[in-house]
């Protein structure tokens, strides 16, 4: 399979969202132009993105909403539930834990870990925060597939090494550090300060 760019995947996930909206609004078909407008891109871009995976439309008509939605969900792998664990039950961590959209989109956070004894044992919406030491074993035992890392920057690399070692192949990192992961492990960073600095540049570099 050819290489799919990161931005193409992002757009695909966006189209999925728009298709969901269109489906909720009861639309039967949608054109690449419609999708483009909502996503702030062009119709050619939409068609090119989709063409990476097949041809799903009907010339002259557009795309059948339900069908394209199904296809994209399958492509993205979101036609199923993923088992996610949270490492770091601080402010950000617990906010993420109760983020409704994750659940709604099929990402179920079924385990949480923290090294702070004060937090261990506490209940977060049905999930008990476990001690750091139990992490490696539980990740395996519970068949966790993705991990959200919300620990301080200094602790992040060590956590990631252990998590990868426990067989996890996808990591969403909130710590403001560049993490090293072996080839074959997917890593995404959410770097909040970096985003604000980007805005700062936009306001400055007039």
Partner DNA sequence: TATATCTTGTGAAATCATTCACAAGCTCGC
Partner DNA sequence: GCGAGCTTGTGAATGATTTCACAAGATATA
Q: Which is nearer to DNA, 20 or 115 (CB)?
A: 20
CA 69 to chain CA mean position, Å? 18
Question: Would you say 12 and 61 are in contact if contact means Cβ atoms under 8 Å apart?
Answer: no
Stretch that binds its own copies, among 25-33, 60-68, 126-134, 187-195 (CB under 8 A): 187-195
Q: What string of DSSP letters covers 64-112?
A: EHHHHHHHHHHHHT-SS-EEEEEE--SHHHHHHHT-HHHHHTTEEEEEE
- Contact indicator for 166, 151 with CB cutoff of 8 Å: no
Residue carrying structure tokens 């600095």: 197
Residue 92 binding result from DNA, its own copies, none, given CB thresholds of 5 to 8 Å by partner type:
its own copies
Residue showing tokens 């062009």: 42
Which one of residues 96, 111, 149, 151 is an interface residue with its own copies (CB under 8 A)? Answer: 96
Q: Please pick, from the candidates 92, 131, 155, 166, the single residue that binds its own copies as defined by CB under 8 A.
A: 92
Subset of 44-73 contacting its own copies (CB under 8 A): none
- Smallest separation (angstroms) from its own copies to the CB of 120: 20
Picked from DNA, its own copies, none, the partner binding residue 86 (CB below 5 to 8 A depending on kind) is none
Contacts of 168 by beta carbon, 8 Å cutoff, 6+ apart: 85, 139, 144, 145, 146, 147, 185
Decide if residue 202 touches its own copies (CB under 8 A).
yes
Distance CA(188)–CA(148), nearest Å, equals 10
Residue range at the interface with its own copies (CB under 8 A); choices 22-30, 58-66, 114-122, 188-196:
188-196
Check if the beta carbon of residue 196 is closer than 8 Å to that of residue 180.
Answer: no
**170 forms part of the interface with its own copies (CB under 8 A):** yes
Binding of its own copies at residue 33 (CB under 8 A)? no
List residues near its own copies by CB under 8 A. Answer: 1, 4, 6, 9-10, 12-14, 16-17, 38-40, 75-78, 82, 84, 91-92, 94-96, 98-99, 101-102, 105, 107, 145-146, 169-172, 176, 178, 186, 188, 190, 192-205
């Amino acid at each position: 399979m050819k290489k799919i760019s990161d931005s193409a995947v992002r757009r695909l996930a966006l189209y999925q969202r728009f298709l969901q909206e269109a489906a909720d609004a009861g639309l039967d078909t949608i054109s690449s132009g419609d999708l483009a407008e909502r996503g702030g891109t062009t119709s050619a871009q939409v068609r090119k993105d989709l063409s990476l995976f097949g041809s799903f439309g009907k010339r002259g008509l557009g795309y059948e909403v339900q069908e394209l939605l199904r296809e994209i969900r399958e492509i993205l792998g979101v036609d199923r539930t993923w088992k996610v664990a949270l490492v770091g039950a601080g402010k950000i961590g617990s906010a993420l834990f109760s983020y409704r959209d994750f659940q709604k989109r099929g990402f179920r956070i079924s385990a949480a870990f923290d090294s702070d004894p004060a937090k261990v044992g506490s209940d977060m919406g049905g999930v008990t925060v476990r001690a750091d030491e139990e992490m490696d074993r539980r990740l395996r035992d519970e068949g966790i597939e993705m991990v959200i890392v919300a620990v301080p920057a200094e602790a992040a690399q060590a956590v990631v090494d252990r998590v990868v070692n426990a067989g996890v192949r996808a990591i969403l990192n909130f710590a403001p550090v560049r993490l090293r992961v072996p080839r074959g492990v997917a890593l995404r960073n959410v770097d909040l300060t970096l985003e604000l600095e980007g805005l700062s540049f936009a306001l400055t570099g007039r």
